[in-house]
Amino acid sequence: MTKYIARRLIQAIPTLFGITIVAYLIMFLAPGNPAAQLAFDPELTVQQRKAMADAMGVNDPFHVQYTRWLLGDAPITLGPLTLWPGREIPVFDRRGNQIDRRQGESGGVIRLDFGKSIVSKKPVMEIIGGVLPATLELGWLALAVGLLIGIPVGVYAAVKQGGIFDQVTRVLSVVVSSIPVFWLGIILLLIFGSWLGWLPMGGRFPPRPNFDAWDRISRLILPTATLASFTIATYSRFMRASLLDVLGQDYVRTAYAKGLSNRKVWFGHALRNALIPIATLLGPSLTLVITGAVLTETIYSWPGMGRLLVNSVNQQDYPMIMAVVILVAIATIIGYIISDILYALFDPRVRLS
């Protein structure tokens, strides 16, 4: 198992490297640049705008910008040997005239330094560390609700195939899967937040001197329901189809012929094998825990990774966008590795070698 995980992690390095190239290329080809966003002041002269763009390095070719993002502005030395010369950053006065040059201090992603946000001037990892707890809180809760409701619903629909419960849940799962997340979020917000006034309109619980459990829970209900709705519909459909397939196998009919009760057949023989296809969904679903949902967090003003990514894209904050992309890519790779491990846990015939 350990060797398998180590081999998969090593194989993931080229994949992660390719993802960063594609993501950076998309940003490079997008119209505008961070300097244009920051130089929106009409009082700035053309010379000052050009000086700002030169200082940021956004006018450099793609391979130069990507290499600098990867290796950083600071030099990389190995004894007397200089492996990477770094970059000298021009310093300008208020009129846009260059007055000096200084050596860059950014260590680059290869040295686990994601730099500073172009907009807020704060370290990228500091900003991500501030919003990550909110995303983890919402993501874990939504995933747990989706599993705890979706899998039992799928199991019961399979064992009661053709019944009213089966027919209703099948229709509801298709309907919920077809509803756009942003539409569902807005409708829930209008009904329970605006019209009925039962739940807050959005936002995470504010800092207060006294802990208010209901305030914290009430702010989680709507975003969790919105985020978990698709998970519930997906897992219930997959669980139903998988369990129906297993219940039709010969060994299940043999178990019935031996006189075993329905519960022993369902949960002792069929359920474990029916969970194997669920492992395919469960691993990548863990990415949701890290990234949250862009639309859900935006609709409910939830201060998490999804909302941070939307704001960063609008502001063309390159360091922030790339940091989020790398975290999502790492979470996705780890999720697929977890799926392979779950295969071995659910099915003893599977061996990770």
CATH at 330: 1.10.3720.10
- Choosing from 111, 135, 169, the residue where a domain stops is 111
**Total-model pTM:** 0.78
Convert 156-178 to b/e letters by CB count within 10 Å (16 or more is b). Answer: bbbbeeeeeebeebeeebeebee
Q: At residue 326, what is the residue type?
A: I
- SS3 for 78? strand
Other CB atoms within a 10 A radius of the CB of residue 60 amount to 16
Q: For 132-156, write each residue's pLDDT tens digit.
A: 888 888 888 888 898 899 989 988 8
State mean pLDDT over 257-284. 77
Q: In this structure, are 129 and 107 located in the same domain?
A: no
Q: For residues 279 and 129, which has the higher predicted lDDT (pLDDT)? A: 129
Segment 313-348, tens digit of pLDDT: 888 888 888 888 888 888 888 888 887 777 777 666
Local confidence band at 69 (pLDDT 50, 70, 90 cut-offs): confident
pLDDT above 90 covers a percentage of the chain that reads 2
Give me the domain span that covers residue 203. Answer: 124-346
Same domain as 142, residue 70 = no
Same domain, 104 and 128: no
State whether 271 and 152 are in the same domain.
Answer: yes
Q: Which of 111, 133, 165 is the last residue of a domain?
A: 111
Claim to verify: residue 142 and residue 265 sit in the same structural domain: yes
**Sign of the C-alpha dihedral computed for residues 322, 224, 342 and 236 taken in this order:** negative
Instruction: Assess if residue 196 is contained within a domain.
Output: yes
Q: Which domain-ending residue is among 80, 111, 142?
A: 111
Q: For residue 175, is pLDDT > 70? A: yes
Q: How many domains does the chain have?
A: 2
Q: Do 240 and 296 lie in a common domain?
A: yes
* Residue 208 domain flag: yes
**pLDDT tens profile 187-225:** 988 888 888 888 887 777 766 666 667 778 888 888 888
Decide if 119 is inside a domain: no
In a domain? residue 262: yes
pLDDT for the residue 149: 92
57, 328, 117, 22 alpha-carbon torsion, rounded to 10°: 10
Q: Is the pLDDT of residue 106 over 80?
A: no
- Residue range 12-50, pLDDT digits in tens: 888 888 988 998 888 888 776 666 655 555 566 666 667
In a domain, 1, yes or no: no
Mean pLDDT, residues 232-238: 88
Q: What integer pLDDT is reported at residue 202 of this predicted model?
A: 76
Tell whether 352 is covered by a domain.
Answer: no
